[in-house]
Structure 1
Amino acid sequence: MNPWSTALAVVLLAAVSFALVARLGAERPWLQPWAIVRARVQLASLSVFRAGIITEPALVAAFLLVMVIAATWVVGTRLELARRRLPVIALVVAGAAAAPPGSSSGLPSPYRGRP
């Protein structure tokens, strides 16, 4: 997918999101399109960053640790969990990250049937 078609898809998704949320009468309908654009920028910058570290196993491990900590913090904050519950959340996030794709979803996995 080239950058222009990606940009067009993001703009279209943001416009449709804004229209639907505004039609539903949400108090701040611009938050959904803003989240879509922000997520796209974050994912693009993350992919550029990952391309630079993917060749070093130690950097990959450090990156995964940072991602688990960030995901745990987001879940704990959004669910307003007590800090004592964060290690359990971190274990769940790390376990999900370690699971091969499709292993628990019932979807075909590229890893099935390989030794």
Structure 2
Amino acid sequence: MQITIRGHHLSITPAIEDDIRNKFAQMTKHLDQVNSMQVKLSKDHQLDKRSKKGSANHIAEAIVRLPGVELFAQATADDMYTSIKKLTEKLKRQLHRHRKMQLDYQPVIVSA
């Protein structure tokens, strides 16, 4: 499985990269079908007019490619580690739903 990590308006530190790789490895431990993942981390520099600071300005996005399906999730928070955690929780739910649909699928056999 290939994981691509990009940063937009911020540099990717080794600690952030290790955190992402560990969380995604745990998430896909029981799913062998993952072809690739793209993770984009960005920081929005917009300021809130009332508090004069950026709120929920750390954005984490991910695309997970499985055979025939692409899963996308996005999460925002005040801290990059929190947004990564929210992102992995969203992707876990999507992967669980996808896995359940695969296991519940029973093809209809039509006999002539």
- Structure richer in helix, relative to its length: 1
Could you say whether these structures have the same fold, taking a TM-score greater than 0.5 normalized by the shorter chain as the test? no
- Structure richer in strand, relative to its length: 2
TM-score, length of structure 1 as denominator length: 0.28
TM-score, length of structure 2 as denominator length: 0.29
Higher radius of gyration, 1 or 2:
1
Higher relative contact order (CA 8 A, sep 6+): 2
